[in-house]
Chain A
Amino acid sequence: MKAFLILEDGTVFCGSSIGSEREVISEIVFNTSMAGYLEVLTDPSYAGQAVVMTYPLIGNYGICTEDMESGRPWPDGFIVRELSRIPSNFRSGGRLQHFLEKYDIPGISGIDTRALTKILREKGTMNGMITTHAYEDYAEPVARMKDYRVAGVVKAVSCKEKYTLEPSDPGREAVSVRTAGKPESLQKRAGEGKRVALLDLGAKKNIARALTERGCEVTVYPCDTPAAEILAEEPDGIMLSNGPGDPKENTKIIREIRKIYESGVPVFAICLGHQLMALAAGADTYKLKYGHRGGNHPVKDLATGRVYISAQNHGYAVDPESLSPQVAVPAFTNVNDNTNEGLRYVGKDIFTVQFHPEACPGPQDSAYLFDRFIEMMGGKE
Chain B
Amino acid sequence: MPKNPEIKKVLVLGSGPIVIGQAAEFDYAGTQACRSLREEGIEVVLLNSNPATIMTDKDIADHVYIEPLTAEVVEQLIRKERPDSILPTLGGQAGLNLAMELEESGFLEKNQVRLIGTTALTIKKAEDREMFKETMEKIKEPVAPSDIVEDVEDGLRIAAEIGYPVVLRPAYTLGGSGGGIAHNPGQCREILENGLRLSRVGQVLVERCIAGWKEIEYEVMRDGAGNVITVCNMENIDPVGVHTGDSIVVAPSQTLGDKEYQMLRTSALNIITELGITGGCNVQYALNPDSFEYCVIEVNPRVSRSSALASKATGYPIAKVAAKIALGYTLDEIKNAVTKKTCACFEPMLDYCVVKMPRLPFDKFITAKRTLGTQMKATGEVMSICTNFEGALMKAIRSLEQHADCLLSYDFSGLDPDALKSQMAKVDDRRIWVVAEALRRGISYDEIFEITRIDRWFIDKLAVLVEMEQALKTEPLTEELLREAKRLEYPDTVIARLAGMPVQEVKSLRRKAGIRAAYKMVDTCAAEFEAKTPYYYSCFDGESEAGEACREDGAFGGGETAGGARRKKKVLVLGSGPIRIGQGIEFDFCCVHSTWAFAREGYETIIINNNPETVSTDFDIADKLYFEPLTPEDVESVVDVEKPDGAVVQFGGQTAIKLTEALMKMGVPVLGTSAKDVDAAEDRELFDQILEKCRIPRPKGHTVFTAEEAKAAADELGYPVLVRPSYVLGGQGMQICINDHDIDEFIGIINQIAQDHPILVDKYIVGKEIEVDAVCDGQDILIPGIMEHIERTGVHSGDSISVYPAPNITPEIEARLVDYTEKLARALHVKGMINIQFIVAGEEVFIIEVNPRSSRTVPYISKVTGIPIVPLATQVICGHTLKELGYTPGLQKKSEYVAVKMPVFSFEKIRGADISLGPEMKSTGECLGIAKTFNEALYKAFEGAGVKLPKHKNMVITVRKQEHEAAVGIARRFQEAGYRIFATRGTAKVLNAHGVKAFSVRKLEQESPNILDLILGHEIDLVIDIPQQGALRSHDGFVIRRNAIETGVHVLTSLDTAGALATSLENRAGELTLVDISRS
Interface residue ranges, A against B (CB under 8 Å)? 30, 32-36, 38-39, 54-57, 60-61, 64, 67, 81-82, 84-86, 88-91, 110, 112-115, 117-118, 121, 176-182, 294-298, 300, 305-309, 335-336, 359-365
* 25 A-B contacts (beta carbon < 8 Å): A33-B349, A35-B256, A54-B528, A55-B351, A56-B353, A56-B387, A61-B257, A64-B257, A67-B257, A81-B388, A88-B255, A90-B290, A113-B351, A114-B387, A121-B528, A121-B530, A177-B262, A180-B142, A295-B349, A296-B347, A298-B343, A298-B345, A306-B225, A307-B227, A363-B266
Check if B332 sits within 8 Å of A307, measured CB to CB: yes
Check if A61 sits within 8 Å of B266, measured CB to CB: no
Q: Specify which of A55, A88, A179, A335 is in contact with B456 (CB 8 Å cutoff).
A: A88
Q: How many A-B Cβ pairs are below 8 Å?
A: 184
Interface string of B237-262 (1 = CB under 8 A from A): 00000000000000011111111011
Q: Specify which of B255, B345, B527 is in contact with A114 (CB 8 Å cutoff).
A: B527
Binds A, one of B168-176, B291-299, B942-950: B291-299
Q: Specify which of B139, B142, B230, B541 is in contact with A112 (CB 8 Å cutoff).
A: B541
Check if B252 sits within 8 Å of A34, measured CB to CB: yes
Interface residue ranges, B against A (CB under 8 Å)? 139-142, 225-230, 252-259, 261-263, 265-267, 269-270, 289-294, 330-332, 341-343, 345-353, 387-389, 445, 455-457, 460, 464, 520, 525-530, 541-543
Q: Specify which of A32, A33, A180, A335 is in contact with B525 (CB 8 Å cutoff).
A: A32
C-alpha gap A91/B142 in the complex (Å) = 22
**Which of A85, A117, A336 has the most CB atoms of chain B within a 10 A radius of its CB?**
A336
C-alpha gap A78/B529 in the complex (Å) = 22
Q: Specify which of A54, A176, A307 is in contact with B259 (CB 8 Å cutoff).
A: A176
**Which of A110, A117, A309 has the most CB atoms of chain B within a 10 A radius of its CB?**
A309
Ranked nearest first, the 3 interchain pairs of A and B with the lowest CB-CB distance are A36-B258, A178-B292, A112-B542
C-alpha gap A35/B292 in the complex (Å) = 16
Q: Specify which of A85, A121, A178 is in contact with B527 (CB 8 Å cutoff).
A: A121
A90: chain B residues within 8 A (beta carbon): 289-291
Distance between B275 CB and nearest chain A CB, rounded to angstroms: 13
C-alpha gap A229/B777 in the complex (Å) = 91
A335: chain B residues within 8 A (beta carbon): 332, 342-343, 345-346
Distance between B256 CB and nearest chain A CB, rounded to angstroms: 6
Check if A114 sits within 8 Å of B256, measured CB to CB: no
The residue of chain A having its C-beta at the shortest distance from the C-beta of B266 within the complex is A364
Q: Specify which of B140, B332, B348, B457 is in contact with A300 (CB 8 Å cutoff).
A: B332
Check if A306 sits within 8 Å of B141, measured CB to CB: no
C-alpha gap A298/B221 in the complex (Å) = 14
B528: chain A residues within 8 A (beta carbon): 30, 32, 54, 117, 121, 294
C-alpha gap A335/B334 in the complex (Å) = 11
Q: Specify which of A57, A180, A309 is in contact with B254 (CB 8 Å cutoff).
A: A57
B456: chain A residues within 8 A (beta carbon): 86, 88
C-alpha gap A67/B330 in the complex (Å) = 35
The residue of chain B having its C-beta at the shortest distance from the C-beta of A290 within the complex is B528
Check if B256 sits within 8 Å of A61, measured CB to CB: yes
B541: chain A residues within 8 A (beta carbon): 81, 110, 112
Q: A88-B457, A117-B351, A180-B142 are in contact. Are A54 and B529 (CB under 8 A)?
A: no
B457: chain A residues within 8 A (beta carbon): 60-61, 84, 86, 88
B261: chain A residues within 8 A (beta carbon): 34-36
Check if A180 sits within 8 Å of B294, measured CB to CB: yes
Q: A112-B541, A176-B292, A336-B346 are in contact. Are A88 and B262 (CB under 8 A)?
A: no
C-alpha gap A67/B527 in the complex (Å) = 27
C-alpha gap A335/B332 in the complex (Å) = 7
Distance between A99 CB and nearest chain B CB, rounded to angstroms: 14
B525: chain A residues within 8 A (beta carbon): 32, 296
Distance between A94 CB and nearest chain B CB, rounded to angstroms: 14
Q: Specify which of A86, A178, A296, A298 is in contact with B349 (CB 8 Å cutoff).
A: A296
Q: Specify which of A55, A60, A112, A298 is in contact with B332 (CB 8 Å cutoff).
A: A298
**Which of B254, B257, B460 has the most CB atoms of chain A within a 10 A radius of its CB?**
B257
**Which of B265, B349, B520, B528 has the most CB atoms of chain A within a 10 A radius of its CB?**
B528
The residue of chain B having its C-beta at the shortest distance from the C-beta of A87 within the complex is B457
C-alpha gap A118/B529 in the complex (Å) = 9
Q: A56-B353, A114-B520 are in contact. Are A85 and B460 (CB under 8 A)?
A: yes
Check if A364 sits within 8 Å of B262, measured CB to CB: yes
Q: Specify which of B254, B290, B341, B526 is in contact with A32 (CB 8 Å cutoff).
A: B526
Distance between B355 CB and nearest chain A CB, rounded to angstroms: 12
Check if A361 sits within 8 Å of B346, measured CB to CB: no
Check if A336 sits within 8 Å of B257, measured CB to CB: no
Q: A36-B258, A67-B257 are in contact. Are A177 and B263 (CB under 8 A)?
A: yes
C-alpha gap A362/B542 in the complex (Å) = 28
Q: Specify which of A35, A113, A297 is in contact with B346 (CB 8 Å cutoff).
A: A297
Q: Specify which of B291, B293, B351, B543 is in contact with A54 (CB 8 Å cutoff).
A: B351
Check if A178 sits within 8 Å of B263, measured CB to CB: yes
B265: chain A residues within 8 A (beta carbon): 363
C-alpha gap A306/B269 in the complex (Å) = 14
Check if B542 sits within 8 Å of A33, measured CB to CB: no
C-alpha gap A176/B331 in the complex (Å) = 32
A88: chain B residues within 8 A (beta carbon): 255, 455-457, 460
A81: chain B residues within 8 A (beta carbon): 387-388, 541
B527: chain A residues within 8 A (beta carbon): 54, 114, 117-118, 121
Check if A114 sits within 8 Å of B351, measured CB to CB: yes
B291: chain A residues within 8 A (beta carbon): 90, 178
Q: Specify which of A36, A117, A180, A296 is in contact with B257 (CB 8 Å cutoff).
A: A36
Distance between B554 CB and nearest chain A CB, rounded to angstroms: 26
Check if A55 sits within 8 Å of B343, measured CB to CB: no
Distance between B547 CB and nearest chain A CB, rounded to angstroms: 16
Q: A86-B457, A336-B342 are in contact. Are A181 and B139 (CB under 8 A)?
A: yes
C-alpha gap A137/B1027 in the complex (Å) = 81
C-alpha gap A362/B269 in the complex (Å) = 14
Check if A181 sits within 8 Å of B266, measured CB to CB: yes
B526: chain A residues within 8 A (beta carbon): 32, 54-55, 114, 117, 294
A297: chain B residues within 8 A (beta carbon): 346
The residue of chain A having its C-beta at the shortest distance from the C-beta of B527 within the complex is A117
Check if B226 sits within 8 Å of A360, measured CB to CB: no
Check if A295 sits within 8 Å of B347, measured CB to CB: yes
A113: chain B residues within 8 A (beta carbon): 351
Given contacts A298-B345, A359-B262, 7 further A-B contacts (CB under 8 A): A32-B526, A33-B349, A34-B349, A60-B254, A90-B291, A296-B346, A365-B266
Check if A85 sits within 8 Å of B464, measured CB to CB: yes
**Which of A179, A307, A360 has the most CB atoms of chain B within a 10 A radius of its CB?**
A307
Distance between A313 CB and nearest chain B CB, rounded to angstroms: 13
Distance between B348 CB and nearest chain A CB, rounded to angstroms: 7
Distance between A38 CB and nearest chain B CB, rounded to angstroms: 8
The residue of chain A having its C-beta at the shortest distance from the C-beta of B251 within the complex is A34
C-alpha gap A329/B265 in the complex (Å) = 32
Q: Specify which of A30, A306, A364 is in contact with B226 (CB 8 Å cutoff).
A: A306
Check if B227 sits within 8 Å of A306, measured CB to CB: yes
Check if B349 sits within 8 Å of A54, measured CB to CB: yes
C-alpha gap A365/B226 in the complex (Å) = 12
The residue of chain A having its C-beta at the shortest distance from the C-beta of B289 within the complex is A90
B530: chain A residues within 8 A (beta carbon): 121
Q: Specify which of B140, B259, B269, B348 is in contact with A177 (CB 8 Å cutoff).
A: B259
C-alpha gap A335/B293 in the complex (Å) = 35
Distance between B622 CB and nearest chain A CB, rounded to angstroms: 23
Q: A121-B530, A336-B342, A359-B262 are in contact. Are A112 and B257 (CB under 8 A)?
A: no
Distance between B658 CB and nearest chain A CB, rounded to angstroms: 32
Check if A67 sits within 8 Å of B387, measured CB to CB: no
Q: Specify which of B141, B227, B230, B353 is in contact with A180 (CB 8 Å cutoff).
A: B141
Q: A294-B349, A294-B528, A362-B258 are in contact. Are A56 and B388 (CB under 8 A)?
A: yes
A308: chain B residues within 8 A (beta carbon): 227
Distance between A288 CB and nearest chain B CB, rounded to angstroms: 12
Check if B346 sits within 8 Å of A309, measured CB to CB: yes
C-alpha gap A336/B269 in the complex (Å) = 21
B543: chain A residues within 8 A (beta carbon): 112, 115
